[in-house]
Amino acid sequence: MEHFHYHSVSLHRKPRLPARMAAPSAPARPQLTVRSRLAATRRPKADVRAESTRQTATPYVMPLSRSAPPKSAGLARSALRSALVLAASVLAGCASIPEPTLQADVPAQWHNTRAGAPAPDPASWWKAYGDPLLDGLVEQALAENLTVAEAHARLQAARKLHGVADTPYRPELAFRTRDAVAADARSSYFQAGFDATWELGLFGRSEAAERLARADLDAAAATLQGARVSVVAEVVRTYRELRHAQAREQLLNEAVALQERQVELVSLRQRTSLASRIDTERAQAALEQARAALADPGVAIRQSALRLATLLGRNEPDPAWTRAPAATTVAPMRAAIRSAPADILRTRPDIQMAQARVLDAAGALGIARADLYPRLGLGGSLTIASNFANNFNRRGDAATSTQAIFSLGPLIDIPLFDWGRRQATERARGDELEAALLAYRQAVLNGVAEAESALIELDEYRQRREAEERALQALERASDHARRLTASKLSSEFDNADLASRRIQAGLALSATTLAQDLAFISLHKAVGGGGVPTSYALRTPPQGGGTGGPAEPDPRCPGCAGGTAEVAAGVAWRD
């Protein structure tokens, strides 16, 4: 057995990170890589004497020392390696980026809500309408909507990638083979061996990579929650528009019937010289206008049914949706919600997305700061080469022309000529983190403002609707009194036509205001992120390498939150 020790120094480029984790594109600059390995080679003497008289393509290793290194030198090298690893570990704590603190400026309570007013459950707010058909449509949409399914698939992908986020900083082992043959060689060597590497991920590099993967997971969870919230709101909105269109169509049909009767009465009066031809033409024009007005609710009904089919992932609407009678039940829509302003930090998808972007920016900053320091790792290899040609001696026995090389040592990548670019990248990533924090605060302000605006609209439309209800009730009482007078021959049907027309117009106005109140009610619960994760549809299976789907502990970064802001909603995303 012959021992020797050698060192090698080489210049190379070593891109290891994906584009999102690496510095921006710039002219390639060399890095200095120092590899220190301890190698041992064994070759038979007979094969060496045989090969001294011929040219071969044997692997060449340049020995710098033919004698075995003393034990004291080995101990010194081991101590040096231990000192380097210890120093790197100490510096790693100084280089890592702490997770940023999220400041949420939210009021303690809503300013435009009515104290003591009943409020529906935010997780199933659409059930306040008391419509079983609507409840079924919402459940079907959550289960069959293609946008929700797409977001769910992306969340599953993010979970799987998050589970292997630390793979680049785990030991790796590779097997390789190579047939080393030269064009003019009389012998060929087959080489096979193992290469082992382990990048230590010091200076906060592994923590930053984990944050980037966690940010992707949180962003995917926020996207899924946003898809659910939007789908629920759109289904309820479209369904209510369909029902209000049916109610308007019913009122306009009454208006057409009334105008047809008016034309008959005016024609009769014209024949008895009690009305002129002008009165007849005016009544006929009013009739045609009433018939033309029927087109609007008809189009709205068909379009709403088609939108419902699209939301449920279907090509054609169900005819039962349009055959159902127009709903006249009005939910107790008060300007009140159960959730507190701080709850929107974990229920609004856009706030969760902004939080994920903060985490992503923090991870990118950690990678940029780690790039300012050397990359440290351990490497080793075992290579065995065997001669398959010209390997017989004079006696006809196969010569064991085989050699083995074993090496082990640290791998150090030191940045040299691109220090300025790395510093600029690190500062730019710091500015991007500051921008992400500001965007998070703006998202919180926008969420609170949208909820307060929806509360104002809901309260105003409620008051307007109550006034229009009183007006309609007064007209209905007047119409009842007019019918009694007509039955007693104290009044004519022609004299009461104007009163009946005003009653229909009041009904149309009330229907429009009720629809506006419905839309404000829907906007309110969409603004607070309600309905994102119904209990029957919540995902409760934790991802690979993740935590559990149970209740989250209070997050110190989010004072006042009922659950940790890291948990997007019951069982949707997990934080380690």
Angle between helix 146-163 and 205-271 (nearest 10): 170
**Residue 31: which residues within 8 A CB-CB, separation 6 or more?**
11, 12, 13, 14, 413, 414, 415, 416, 418
Whether the predicted pLDDT of 306 surpasses 90: yes
Is 79 exposed, middle or buried, given 0-12, 13-18 or 19+ CB atoms closer than 10 A?
exposed
Q: pLDDT-based confidence at 480, cuts 50/70/90?
A: confident
CA–CA distance, 456 with 446 (Å, rounded to integer) = 15
Q: What is the DSSP letter of 554?
A: P
pLDDT of residue 163: 83
Q: Which residues pair with 403 in a beta bridge?
A: 385
Q: What is the DSSP letter of 342?
A: G
Q: Phi/psi of residue 174, each to 5°?
A: -130, 145
- Find the Cα–Cα–Cα–Cα dihedral 153, 157, 160, 161, rounded to 10°: -160
Q: What is the percentage of the chain residues whose pLDDT exceeds 70?
A: 66
Sheet with 31-42, side-by-side order of all strands: 2-12, 31-42, 402-414, 375-387, 189-199, 172-180
Look-up: residue for tokens 């994102």?
532
Q: Which of 235-244, 346-355, 537-546 tops mean pLDDT?
A: 235-244
In this predicted model, what pLDDT tens digit does every residue of 171-194 receive, in sequence order? Answer: 877 887 776 555 555 666 677 778
Look-up: residue for tokens 């009922």?
562
- String of DSSP letters for 65-134: -SSPPPHHHHHHHHHHHHHHHHHHHHHHHHHSPPPPPPP----SS-SSPPTT-----GGGGGGGG--HHH
- For the segment 566-576, the average pLDDT, to the nearest whole number, is 30
Look at 198 and 40; give whichever has higher pLDDT.
Answer: 198
Domain ranges of the chain: 125-168+203-372+432-528
Whether the predicted pLDDT of 11 surpasses 50: no
pLDDT of residue 86: 55
**Closest by CA position to 104, among listed 282, 348, 332, 287:** 348
Look at 524 and 30; give whichever has higher pLDDT.
Answer: 524
pLDDT of residue 516: 92
Contact 126, 134 (CB under 8 A): yes
Instruction: Say how many C-beta atoms besides its own lie within 10 A of residue 202's C-beta.
Output: 24
**Lowest mean pLDDT, pick from 51-55, 332-336, 351-355, 412-416:** 51-55
Look at 527 and 486; give whichever has higher pLDDT.
Answer: 527
Q: Which residues pair with 192 in a beta bridge?
A: 177, 384
Contact 350, 189 (CB under 8 A): no
**Closest by CA position to 184, among listed 69, 56, 63, 82:** 56
Look at 503 and 416; give whichever has higher pLDDT.
Answer: 503
Angle between helix 295-311 and 205-271 (nearest 10): 160
- For the segment 531-547, the average pLDDT, to the nearest whole number, is 38
What is the identity of the amino acid at 157?
A
Contact 389, 265 (CB under 8 A): no
- For the segment 46-68, the average pLDDT, to the nearest whole number, is 36
In this predicted model, what pLDDT tens digit does every residue of 429-470 receive, in sequence order? Answer: 999 999 999 999 999 999 999 988 988 888 899 889 999 999
Is 392 exposed, middle or buried, given 0-12, 13-18 or 19+ CB atoms closer than 10 A?
exposed
pLDDT of residue 5: 35
CA–CA distance, 466 with 16 (Å, rounded to integer) = 67
**Closest by CA position to 126, among listed 463, 516, 532, 460:** 532
Q: Enter the pTM of the model.
A: 0.70
**Lowest mean pLDDT, pick from 74-88, 274-288, 420-434, 536-550:** 536-550
Is 19 exposed, middle or buried, given 0-12, 13-18 or 19+ CB atoms closer than 10 A?
exposed
In this predicted model, what pLDDT tens digit does every residue of 106-152 receive, in sequence order? Answer: 777 777 776 656 677 778 888 888 888 999 999 999 999 999 999 99
- What is the residue-averaged pLDDT of the chain? 73
Q: pLDDT-based confidence at 307, cuts 50/70/90?
A: very high
Q: Which of 19-23, 379-383, 397-401, 534-538 tops mean pLDDT?
A: 379-383
Q: 561: helix, coil or strand? A: coil
pLDDT of residue 427: 92
* CATH number, span 125-168+203-372+432-528: 1.20.1600.10
Q: pLDDT-based confidence at 572, cuts 50/70/90?
A: very low
- Helix segments in 294-418, DSSP class H: 295-311, 319-323, 344-347, 349-370
Whether the predicted pLDDT of 381 surpasses 60: yes
pLDDT of residue 176: 77
**Closest by CA position to 455, among listed 121, 106, 115, 131:** 115
**Closest by CA position to 364, among listed 574, 210, 222:** 210
In this predicted model, what pLDDT tens digit does every residue of 249-295 receive, in sequence order? Answer: 999 999 999 888 888 888 887 788 777 888 888 888 988 888 999 89
Label the pairing between strands 2-12 and 31-42: antiparallel
CA–CA distance, 270 with 287 (Å, rounded to integer) = 17
CA–CA distance, 169 with 451 (Å, rounded to integer) = 45
* Backbone torsion region of residue 529, taken as left when φ is above 0, otherwise alpha when ψ lies between -120 and 50, otherwise beta: left
- String of DSSP letters for 395-421: TSPBP--EEEEEEEEEEEEE--TTHHH
CA–CA distance, 364 with 100 (Å, rounded to integer) = 13
**Closest by CA position to 313, among listed 222, 237, 219, 227:** 227
